[in-house]
Structure 1
Amino acid sequence: MHPSLLPDYQHLHSHAQRLLQCADALSHSVSKVEDSYWEHMAEQCIETLLLSDESSIIEQLFQYLNEHQLTEHLEIIASLLEGCSESISLEDAQGQRYDALLISIPITAWTRYSLPEGPMDSELTHALEQQLHQHVLAPKVRVALHPELLCFEDVPHNLHQARQLLESLAKQALGLHGKSTTKLPPRSQHPTLLADARFVLAVIAAPSGLPLFAWQQSKERALTKQVAILNTWQQHSQELFAGLFTGCQTEYWLPNAFHANNRVAEQHLRPLNLKATVTWLQTVAQVPKGQLTAILAACGQEQIEEYRIGFCVTDSDVVIHGCIWPLLDPDDQSDTLAQISELLKELDSGDVLLLPGLYEPEFCDDCETPYFPNPDAQLVHPEFPEQIDSDPPLLH
């Protein structure tokens, strides 16, 4: 066997070097026993990084992996980092060991009004916890909810913050009182969006070796059981959150692991954001159906990272609004364009213009508004008509 050499990595921090070596060994391991050994060694290194909040070391390592296109190593390390930041094993006061997982309960929504956020009342949090036990979780699972409805900007921004919240809520779930409670960073100020996601975060904990979720103990195929649970969850969530999301069109997604569910929400939010934008322009701005021109531009640094969609009234080059469609998988460019085009056709928006080339994803220096493409193949600041109030009215 002649293994390929790793590009020079001596400039990396010693923890990053060790993590890279473990990932390289994992990429060549051919047995479960050896896999377990290298994963354990990598997790020990990751524990040190997460507890010390050495995010710059992780960023440096990811930069190295991207520069040298070490895709397999990057996937291994990213998976291990996510796993360690959202799951731990700990003991309760009686010495019983539990496996704890940070989960996310995503809600995607769009509205002409403002979307709710912030603290939830105790009655709602209690009802939500009961719904989790009744429909989603396995028996003997303990739960601790974070009692706020959060935006993307307000959930943990990095692996260290996710791990801190996990540990705090896990101790709460197991009744380990007298421990310091870690709070999320102060909620940020962010623009009001037509379509956005909201999250409830929680930690669930089960005795080690026992299942966390109901679909783990079913004799049915796990995916079949998940679909059935999702249908039930959506039905009951519509009733549970009806008072908070008045005037909103909402979609409720299955509670599951924190990082994976962030991606689920982002995936479902893309078409919802486009639909909300077109519908809003047709209703609030009173642009007749079929009288919009949608201009699509691929944006990114070295490869396509997102599509920016600027909207003009037909026969005008003034961009009155826009939305961003993140490209979650660079290999799905053609599928993404087909999906966008089909959705615009369904919405009867009007003409669609695709610009050639790759554009720098620019923002306004003053207000940080993204620039969107116009028919002249330029990214420009959107200029909404002055006679139309672009701020959604407050309903909640």
Structure 2
Amino acid sequence: MAVHRTKSSQRSSPEVERLVADAISLAASGSQIEDRFWEGRLNTRLMRLLKSQNQNVIDAALDQTFRINTVAFEVLADIAETLAESLTLEIEDQQWDVLLLAMPIVAHTRYQIPSGPLPVSVIESTAAALQASIVSTDTRLAIIPWLYSIDQMPHSHCQTRLLTESLANAAVSGGEVKLELRDMSETIAVLADPRFVIAVVAAPSGTPLFRWQAEPPTRQERGVSLIGWQTAMQEPMGSLLPGCEFELLLPEAYFTNCRLADKHVRPLSIRAAVNYLETTLGILPAGLSCVVGAFGEEQADEYRISFSMKGSPEIVYGVIWPLYDRESVANDALNDVSDDESPIKRICDALHEAGVEDVFRHAMLFDPELCDDCGAPLFPDRSGEAVHAEMPDDAPTQQPLFH
């Protein structure tokens, strides 16, 4: 997805350089009038790239600004995401503001987290809950009849823009959502993962999209909206996710909620892994050892967490803790737990909360290796080697793999 870091070879093309220069200029601006000038330039350049489906240039510019100017990166990322997930549509002399929504359900299980077609009853319940608790009056909706896994979501700004455009017309005109959903990619079996319902909300331009934007007495704070949403959707989602524990997050803009759901699921992945190993191998959390290492080519893109039985060097299971565009770790602080907000501190806290006491942290940056035979990620052992995680031969066979 576009919320993840990208590696691109097109780093010196004129289009990339112009995007980077304009983003740096906007980041350095000292007034709103200058802000509007640079924003206009960036909007024009990015919209041209989105319309021509030229994602490589956008990715390369994001990669370059991330490395040289984090403020400019934030500026460029925010504008690219805004253009991909929102638009203004005019139909019958009426202008509509349209926003692509992601409605995350963060789930964990010992079995399998479902995805696939949404029954009509669940779509109707979703629409009713949105209208009752989330969206403002006079808004219109179009809901995709599919429960998405992260693997099935749009993977770029360009793909997201196409999805927003296709749903916008359906929402405003009240027409049918026309998407090809039969050839969705297979969902990887993992123990903890987000699921998403995707929709667009449209409101007459200049009017509120959400209840928390409205004036009293219609106004409703986000916390109240979230409680209403969770209460209304608990039963419909429970029918779709048997055998799963799950939490419904507040429906919000697409990219914001993709990041939020992915971050929210990371500690759940650790808890689910510990529960799985306890059930499958009969080992209490205190009987597990973990090794944590940062992986990436030039900088940390993710941490990989290895699980073994205490006293054994064999890695039996692995969990990946990805880092996202707005997270970075200096190469000399990969195992530094002095900062409460650092990823490694959050990982160690999640392991300790799950009952794992023995945690070893590597200070080195590992190459992001995968198994040549099966493509599975390799995980660090205590000696500093990246190895295959393999359950004992006598362990019961179950479906979940890695996260």
In the superposition, the TM-score normalised over structure 2's length comes to: 0.87
Q: 1:231 Cα deviation (Å)?
A: 2.1
Pair 218,313 (structure 1): closer, same or farther in 2 beyond 3 Å: farther
Correspondence list, 1:169-318, <5 A:
169-175=167-173, 181=178, 183=180, 186-218=183-215, 225-318=221-314
Q: Secondary structure at the match of 1:46?
A: helix
Distance of 2:224 and 2:285 partners within structure 1: 37
CA contact (8 A) 1:156 1:184 kept: no
Q: Percent identity?
A: 35
Contact 2:142 2:200 survives alignment (8 Å) = yes
Which residue of structure 2 lines up, in the alignment, with residue 136 of structure 1? 134
For 1:147, the equivalent position in structure 2 comes to: 145
Separation (CA, whole Å) in 2 of partners of 1:234 and 1:281: 30
Distance 1:196 1:11, change over 3 A: closer
Letter in 2 for 1:96: Q
> Residues 1-396 of structure 1: matches in 2 within 5 Å?
12-66=12-66, 69-92=68-91, 94-175=92-173, 181=178, 183=180, 186-218=183-215, 225-328=221-324, 329-330=327-328, 334=337, 335=340, 336-392=343-399
How many equivalent pairs are there? Answer: 379
Which amino acid is 2:265 matched to? L
Q: Is the 8 A contact 2:46 2:58 kept in 1?
A: no
Does the C-alpha gap of structure 1 residues 31 and 349 become closer, same or farther in structure 2, counting only changes over 3 Å?
closer
In 2, the alpha carbon distance for the partners of 1:127 and 1:79 equals: 32
CA distance in 2: counterparts of 1:24 and 1:293, whole angstroms: 45
Contact 1:192–1:391 (8 Å) recurs in 2: no
Per-residue CA deviations over 1:295-325 (Å, capped at 9, x if unaligned) read: 1112222222222111111111111101011
- Partner Cα distance (2:45, 2:358) in 1: 53
* Cα displacement string for residues 3-32 of structure 1 (whole angstroms, at most 9, x for unaligned residues): xxxxxxx98444434433432432343322
Change (3 A) 1:217 1:186: same
For 1:11 and 1:60, the matched residues in 2 are separated by 5
Is this contact kept in 2: 1:111–1:194, CA < 8 A?
Answer: yes
158-167 vs 73-82, greater mean Cα deviation: 73-82
Q: Any gaps of 5 or more consecutive residues in structure 1?
A: 1-9
- SS of the equivalent of 1:189 reads coil
Per-residue Cα deviation, 1:178-233 (whole angstroms, up to 9, x for no partner): 9x94546932124200111101111110000001001111569x9x9112221222
| Partner in structure 1 of residue 4 of structure 2 | none
User: For residues 55 and 70 of structure 2, what CA distance do their matches in structure 1 show?
Assistant: 20
Q: CA distance change for structure 1 residues 325 and 177 in 2, over 3 Å: closer, same or farther?
A: closer
Q: Distance in 2 between matches of 1:294 and 1:11?
A: 38
Asked if the contact 1:165/1:183 (under 8 Å) is kept, the reply is: no
TM-score, normalised to structure 1, is: 0.89
The code of the aligned residue for 2:69 comes to: L
Distance in 2 between residues matched to 1:57 and 1:289, nearest whole Å: 46
Unaligned runs of 5+ in 2: 1-9
Contact 1:161 1:184 in 2 (8 A): no
